[in-house]
Amino acid sequence: MTPLQIDFGQQSSERVVGIDLGTTNSLVGFMDLTRPRVIPGSDGSLLVPSVVSLTSDGELVAGGIALDLLMTAPERTVYSVKRLMGRGLSDLGEESRLFPFRFAPESESVLRIALGERTFTAPEISAAVLRELKRRAEAFLGEPVSKAVVTVPAYFDDAQRQATKDAGRIAGLDVLRLVNEPTAAALAYGLDKRNQGIVAVYDLGGGTFDISILKLQDGVFEVLATHGDTHLGGDDIDNRLLRIGLEDVASEWGEDLSSDSEAVQRLRRAVIRAKEELSFVPFTSLRFEYKGKVYERQLTRGVLEKLIADIVDRTLGPSRRCLADAGLTVEQIDEVVLVGGSTRIPLVRQAVEALFKARPHTELNPDEVVALGAAVQAGILSGHVEDTLLLDVTPLSLGIETMGGVVSKLIHRNSTIPASATETFTTAVDGQRNVLIHVLQGERELAKDCRSLARFDLKDVEPMPAGLPRVEVRFLIDANGILNVMARDARSGKEQTVEVKPTYGLTDDQVEQMYLESIENAEADFQARQVAEARVDADTILAAVEKAKQNDAFYELDENERETIHQAVNDLLLVYHSDDHLLIRSRIEQLNEKTTKLAETMVNAAVRGALKGTKID
């Protein structure tokens, strides 16, 4: 791999804002003269609800206004759209029934959300939230704002990151950088602490969970490893409490309200309010009033903790795997930082403290810390902050398919980005003019088990015998995690470049699932790779022997020698489809041995031909 080139772009005198585009709430911040600040609205509130509604006038509105419309016009209102970024309807499966809004039937590849009679993509919905944040910043700063840094979950895949950049473009924002949310949090805390050491950033927000291990040293924030679940957060807790509440109301009132959108939203607000109160008091009252009826029950913190214990436990597995990826033990973690509103829940804090054996940092408001970090990164890009570097990582390995369906990984999982890597490959067929470059993402050894990102042809390669052409393939991941692939014929200089922008539709759990499958199938995958590579080598020697049979030198051998080669070829063909790579390689060695004299005869014949007619004085 070539040395990493860290480039934060040219400094700009124009104001750059930092945006935390959250599942439940969003914030916008900027670098003041001395510190990052979150920009308040005209009412003094810092949070902008990530809710969007289509008004009766056909206008998309976001924030507090949309949150109010969620009660009166739920059929034209959408929330938690962050969970839908970069996804298609087929990806949602049974989960689609949990969303209280409709999806258009043409949503198979690009998800379209139905609001009233109109439909919108997830980036269009997110753009409405970004526009609201943009307006808030312009009103507060008194100047136009067109450049931003936007945070994303560390485990967002290529499609989800591209969807976020698309949302910024629709909102009229030039997204200069996508920054992982845990990394942004480390920036926010790093400015205050300037600590050297190893930090775990545990981020449990409304819809996503991320865990990152970072190394802080001399102003450099380097992500050693990252893990998470892009479908795990406070929304899961709310949905569970909501289901229990609906069952309770149905039992008490004898009425099923689950299909009544307004009732569901009113009850959702009630359970969220009760959940939030139980973070600070040992018991509270869950009260729901609707159409003259009142439902009320006492709820204790202990009962809540029993109801959500398994959800909290789901965050601990990725946390342990992240430690393993970083090659660290909990004893080597110097500090733990909590991010996201859901980390206010006492059970969450207790679980994190028990896992890392350290009291986590909560000095900064967990709702604001990501936005503050985004503001710091915005300050770096605009030239207002110096002597700070931020290095992120790519969550899955990237490579290309080679002969035998084997994956050659160029950039490995958890490589620091921006990153580049170049490797040289060759052709498999004599006179080959076109080379197919198949770009893959994943941890498995064979192409069929990895995710296909792109295919393109390097055309007009100079025709030569197999194995002689040199095709250079270069991978470059930019600071936003977007992959560029370049293939070049080293002899002719012809090249082809593609920016990998996958279509929306990858499931949120795929990154985690791909990683787990690579562990579960590691032994079988390695065995399959060894077999595939042995068969490729067998193909090479069989083709060489077949070609040699057309040479006069073959018939200079006596009949027994020719028969011995025929037998060795047959022996190799008999085991070619075996799953025993050692057996295949033993037959290759046998054929190599039996063709040694043939090779010598061919070389001698070639030398005689070259010297024919030459006089040596």
Q: At residue 402, what is the residue type?
A: T
Q: Which pair of tokens denotes residue 109?
A: 């590849």
Half-sphere exposure of 143 (CA within 13 A, CB side): 10
The Cα 171–Cα 490 span in angstroms is: 43
Q: Which pair of tokens denotes residue 251?
A: 């039992």
31, 384 contact by CB (below 8 A): yes
Q: In what order do the strands lie in the sheet with 451-458?
A: 406-411, 398-402, 435-441, 451-458
156, 27 contact by CB (below 8 A): no
3-state secondary structure 27-43: EEEEECCCCEEECCCCC
88, 111 contact by CB (below 8 A): yes
Provide the pairing of β-strand 435-441 with 36-38: unpaired
The Cα 526–Cα 303 span in angstroms is: 47
344, 209 contact by CB (below 8 A): no
Indicate if the alpha-carbon torsion angle 295, 296, 300, 301 is positive or negative: positive
User: Which residues are paired to 203 by β-bridges?
Assistant: 210, 339
Give the max Cα distance, the chain.
118
Q: Which pair of tokens denotes residue 396?
A: 């899955």
Residue 418: asked if its preceding bond is cis (omega within 30°), the reply is yes
DSSP string across 57-102: TS-EEETHHHHHHHHH-GGGEEE-GGGGTT--HHHHGGGGGGSSSE
Nearby residues of 429 by Cβ (< 8 Å), 6 or more positions away: 466
DSSP string across 183-250: HHHHHHHHHHH---EEEEEEEE-SS-EEEEEEEEETTEEEEEEEEEETT-SHHHHHHHHHHHHHHHHH
The Cα 441–Cα 447 span in angstroms is: 9
Q: How far is CA 70 from the centre of its chain?
A: 31
Helix or strand run (H / E) with residue 368: none
Positions marked active-site: 20, 82, 181, 203
User: Which residues are paired to 337 by β-bridges?
Assistant: 201, 361
340, 368 contact by CB (below 8 A): no
Q: In what order do the strands lie in the sheet with 102-103?
A: 102-103, 112-115, 118-121
User: Which residues are paired to 161 by β-bridges?
Assistant: none
Q: Which pair of tokens denotes residue 534?
A: 């042995």
Q: Which pair of tokens denotes residue 228?
A: 């998470």
The Cα 378–Cα 385 span in angstroms is: 9
User: Which residues are paired to 477 by β-bridges?
Assistant: 419, 483
The Cα 528–Cα 522 span in angstroms is: 10
